[in-house]
Structures are given as structure tokens and as C-alpha cells.
Structure 1
């Protein structure tokens, strides 16, 4: 079990939010005219936690609104958020059977940030986002500085290792890229067929031996298209 784990730091602003909990009108505007607040693009980038790493190992997202409850809460308050995650995690979890009954839920053990190197990388990612938030051109648009954000529980109390680690411990969550539990070669063969079973294939990111550095949407589509190709060839 591999996943991208990270957290967000958030800052209040005086700019009214573009979107509220009900986005039906904005969605209609997007469909009819291709414009409006639903047409905005999220900003992000890849960074290296250390000069010695061979490739970027931190992905940072920037989003409008205050991120609470793992990004699942409606953004009622105007603001801006920055979210780093560990792009190439060393920590590994597992998915195991809980019971022989086919409808029993599996036992999922995420084991996020168990490897100390993952914690170090995420710490540097949070520190980078705090440095970005201090940039004068951005700070002038925000109502709260790092101290105000920390008082609201939205940022670390300081950029010390201890304060950042305390924040990470309570605020980290999955960025929803679970992978690796039906690994290619061990669980499925080169045509994604499950070893030892007939007519069963796996076509999602669980077949990845190693989690990709960035988002998994495009790789998941590619895996599905490849599985469809294998099925068509076997049917012919």
C-alpha cells in the first residue's frame, strides 16, 4: 500500500470566495459559456526537499479557500491554502482480508509517514509553503499572517522542526492516490490477469510496483485502456 501523504496550511483573506457550498449556478455557467469561477485552474509545482535528491520529491498544490477536514469541508471562509505531499514515499502499508466472506470490508493499514525520511521530506515541504506565504506580494493579499493562521490551527506555530512535526502529526492526510496492493509481477501478470484465477484482471493503480511521483489520474486511465486492449486481443 503506497499513497501520497501531505497536509495544507491556510491563510484568511478579505476577498470574497468565488465558490460556496452550492455550485449549481456556477456549473451551469461553465457548461453554457465555458466561463465563471468554475473555470479556474489549480496551481502547483514540484520541488526538491534537498539539493542532493536526483529528482523532485515534493509536490505542492495551491488552492483558493481554507482547507479543513482533509479538504472535504465546504470552503465557507475566504482564503488561500498551500499543500505539500511526499511525492516518492518510502513508507508502505497493506490491504488484507478481514474475513472469508466476500462482502466483508478489507483491513486497510495505511502506515502513513512511518519512514522517518518521509517525515523529513514533508517537513521541508511545509517549510517551503511557509516561506512562500511570507512573500510580500502574496502576504499583502492575505488577512492573516503565519501567526494568525497558527492561532486558528491552520499552520505550524513556527518553522522549527518540532512545531512543524506537531502540525504534520495532526493535519496530514491522504491525497487519494492509493497504489501498489495488486503489484504487477507478484499479483497480476503482464496482461493484468490475477495469478491463479480465471478471467479476472485488475485495471487500476493498485498494479503499480511503485507509486508515480505525481497525480495518478492519467496513469489510471492509461492502465484501463491497456487492460481493454488486452481483453480485445484475447477475444479475437
Structure 2
């Protein structure tokens, strides 16, 4: 195996695949991308509904992190599934393609992140995307020839349509494109799929959609089952990465740069294990300090989310354990094998919406995911439907710290959820929105019974809603912000994504977000990888407008 490369990318998640693929595509440089998990050539990954098998407990494709006990959530631990393997979380997520709104990125620029306004990042969203609605053509907001395939759902459940009908009856407008001119409203989510199969970041950027290959580019070296132990420095310059492959530990050398793309948990963990972080914390664990960077691991943000209105309805158009469902799924598996259509192409969260908790807001601050399953813990017998509501721009901030210098051990994750009372008040208003929707005849006609003892049919009592939120709220699986980008001296990385205080080292993933965006975070993470490649290569944004090359 080669041990020396121009660029080493640590982590083959959404951003890591994008930056590695683009650097390799540029030619003239050797690029290694390191991934602690396995390859992604598995039916559990490529079959969209396979996410129900991979997002539960920790396993070969899911780190399955748990947070510290949250005092305002009845001392419960939050779930934080994170993808392990090529594609990272894009291999196990709900495939929902959402960018947020322009103001999300303009806010970054106003906070000192020059070059990250909406005008700056939109070309990278467009370059990354092949939106099937466009038929291979670009338009002002969408790309038609990028490597990341985005498609309308092939076989949505009729209950997703009933939800949209109920929402419109409650006064919320239908929105055919959440990534269009306006985000507010209800509609179907577009998914990162192609021909009924998951189109993860590895498929888009590393092996060009071809099964059974790790890379289609001769200068791109994809190393799976390779755990990064620490970044190697000569003085203050990053020169390589110490890795563990099986029982063997070796050092890989980076002639130009080391690029850390291990996500909102993995990136700060690796920086701290390598000596970049709060000096007192590192010394307590016996880690030699390279740079005292107190904000590594701070600024942790997550969409606080509550699962509500779980109703049991006897229909095999909905998911859930039953004899009838077992027979239905047998036939659906055969259908999927023949046609790549049917329930197995679904993502459970097929429809949803964006809402304002206050009419005076410029942008929606709440997001709903309608679920074609009554998701209870533990899962109970029978089918049903349910709905999530989350706060898009939470004010609460969490913290990540090392449990051990060993990067194989999960870090300490404390989200401090709902510690800012504004988050609770917004979520309560979101519950009232859902109650109005679920009270409409389009859904109420099916009857059904509540599938969770924590939930009550009467949503008019705010104190009762607070109790429900404390019992049921959790994460939306969108952690960001722990290696904050900025122009101030406390920022972990500068607007070029270079780690402050050292040379030859960047962070490229959702951890660099100063503030979380208003929506699912996979598409923005891929945008960050796309933009980072041009920053590393010294290209200007204008170059993007002249090319439609794909990875």
C-alpha cells in the first residue's frame, strides 16, 4: 500500500467524499481518503428503506452515539446515529435534500465568514446536483449535471398525500419545491436517489455510481477499515496521519495538506486527540498540546425534535409489525427487485413542511417530518403514522469533549438541549400547528388510537405539552458547529477552513458551520466539500459558472 500522498482526507462522509473526489478529479495530485468503516456496497445501504436496519443501535455502519443525560429531557440520553463506512451519514440517513434558506448563509458572511454568503455558496449547490426535474439542465437555483442525484419519490404512501391534504385544509400552502424561491409550506421531500436506489456521497464522488468499486480515478486511493489515530506534526505543520488498520499502526504522509472530514463529533475528537483543543482538558488526559484552541468542541448545535401524534391505523400502506405487513413486504421486496419501485424506495419521512412559529418571522423556524410509521420505543404491534416537529435554529449550545485520547472510544456529547427557553416556546407552537393539521378530516377520518402512553389527544394545554416534550424530545440527527468557522481569534478555522495556529491542516464538514441551517444538513455538508476543493486548489467561484464537469 502507498503511504505518501499529496492530500489525505480523514473521513469519507458527505463532505469528505465531495472534497476528495473533486481534488482527485482536478488531476495532478494523489489523494487518499481514509474511512474507519467498511465499503458501501451493501443492500442495507443501496435499498432506501434499509435505513430502518442501520439507524437504530450501534453497528458496523452506525456509530450509534448517545448524549449525556439531559436534565430538561427527564435525564434521558439522546440518540445520535452517525454513519460509519463510505458515504458516512449519507449512507444511513433519510436522503432528504434540503439546503436551508439564503439568510442562513448570509448570516455566516455577516458574522465574519467572508465568501460564504448565499451568493457565494449557491454555485456549489448547483454544481453538486443533478436534479431529475431539470432533465439534465441547470436553472437559477438547481443543477442538472452534477454527481449527486436528486429525485422525486417514486412510490409515496397515500397517507403522505392525506397529510398534505390535511395541512392545506388547515391553511398551509402546498410547496412543490422546498429548495425553490420560498421554503414555507408543505409538500413532498426530494431525495438523494436514482432509479429507486440511495445515491450517497460515495456513489456520487468516489466510484461514480458503479457497484463493486472503491474508486474510478487512478489518483484517488480509498482506504476503508482505516482508523485515524492522530494527526502527525513537524513543529506546527501537519505532515501526515497515524492510522490503525487491523492490528497494524502506521503513518501516512501528506505532502501538501491533511483535511479532516470526520463530522461534528469525529473532527473535534481527532483535533483534540492530536493536541489541538482546550489545553487544560488535553493535559488532564495526557495529550501533548500543539495549539491551545479552547473553542474546539464548543458551539455544538442540533435540531431539537419531538415525535408526536403516533396513531395506530390498520392499513398496510403504513409500516409496522403485523402478519399482513409481513406478506405485503414480501411482495414489495419482489417488486423492488423487478422494478425498483414500491415501499422499499421510501424513506419513511416522505412529506413534511416548514412553518413559522410567529407570522412576523422572515423565514420558517419549524420543520415537520410526516412519518409513514407509528414510531414508538419499543416498537409496538401494528401499523400507523406519526409526525416529528423540530426547531430549525435553536439557541441552546452544547459541548463535546474527549472521553479518552483513543479515537476508537466515543467522545462525551452534551447537547444542553432546551437550556434556552426560546427553544421550548417555539416547539410548543409547533405542537399546536400539528394538532391543527391532524384534526382535519383528511386524516381524522381514519380514526386510530394513540400508540404511545406519553401522548394525549388534547394538545391545548401548554403545560401538558411541556411535559410531553420533556418525555419525548430528542435529536434530529443534524449535529454541527464544533469546529466553528470565523474571522475572530476564537474561531477554530478561518473562512478558508484552515485550522488556526497550525499549517497544512483544514477541517471540511458540518462542524465548521457557525450556526445551523434551517433544514436537513446533508446537502449543506456536500456543498462545504465542493467549496473546500476550490479553496484548496486556489480556484475562484467564477470558475464554477464555466464548468459542468461531474466527479
Note closer, same or farther for the CA distance 1:195–1:76 as it changes in structure 2 (3 Å cut): farther
Question: Partners in 1 of 2:477 and 2:338 — Cα distance?
Answer: 31
Q: Is 1:89 aligned with 2:394?
A: yes
- Deviation of residue 131 (structure 1)? 1.8
1:115 matched to 2:423? The reply is no
Correspondences of 1:11-22 after superposition (within 5 Å): 11-19=311-319
Q: Using the TM superposition, give the Cα deviation of residue 114 of structure 1 relative to its aligned residue in structure 2, in angstroms.
A: 0.9
| 1:96-107 to 2 correspondences below 5 Å | 96-100=401-405, 105-107=410-412
Secondary structure of 1:127's aligned partner: helix
Alignment match of 1:170 (pick from 463, 471, 480) = 471
Give 2:369's match in structure 1, choosing from 23, 47, 61.
61
- Structure 1 residues not aligned, in runs of 5+: none
Aligned residues: 227
Task: Tell me whether 1:221 sits opposite 2:521 in the alignment.
Answer: no
2:313–2:447 Cα contact (<8 Å) kept: yes
Tell me the C-alpha RMSD between the 2 structures.
Answer: 2.6
How much does 1:101 deviate? 5.3
Deviations 1:74-102 (CA, angstroms, capped at 9, x unpaired): 68531111111001111111113345555
Gaps of at least 5 residues in structure 2 are 1-299, 540-551
- Which of these residues, 332, 339, 344, is aligned with residue 33 of structure 1? 339
Shift of 1:233: 4.1
The 8 Å contact of residues 320 and 384 in structure 2, kept in 1 or not, is answered as no
Q: Distance in 2 between matches of 1:134 and 1:188?
A: 48
Q: Does 1:204 align with 2:503?
A: no
SS of 1:95's equivalent in the other structure is: strand
Q: CA deviation at 1:27?
A: 5.9
Q: Report if aligned partners of 2:497, 2:532 keep a CA contact under 8 Å in 1.
A: yes
Larger Rg: 2
Q: Deviations over 1:194-217 (max 9, x none)?
A: 112333221111101110011101
Instruction: Encode CA deviations 1:19-71: one digit per residue, 9 max, x unaligned.
Output: 467979746744641311123461011001122222211101101111224xx
Relative to total residues, which structure has the larger strand share, 1 or 2?
2
Q: CA separation of 1:120/1:197 partners in 2, compared to 1, >3 Å: closer, same or farther?
A: same
CA distance in 2, matches of 1:8, 1:143: 17
**SS in structure 1 opposite 2:390?**
strand
Matched residues in 1 for 2:369 and 2:499: separation? Answer: 36
The two structures have a TM-score, normalised by structure 2, of 0.38
Quote the Cα distance in structure 1 between the aligned partners of 2:506 and 2:334: 38
Closer/same/farther in 2, CA of residues 156 and 19 from structure 1, 3 Å limit: closer
Matched residue, 1:43: 351
1:182 to 469, 476, 483: 483
* Alignment check: 8 A CA contact 2:371 2:385 kept: yes
* Structure-1-length-normalised TM-score: 0.84
Q: Does 1:7 align with 2:312?
A: no
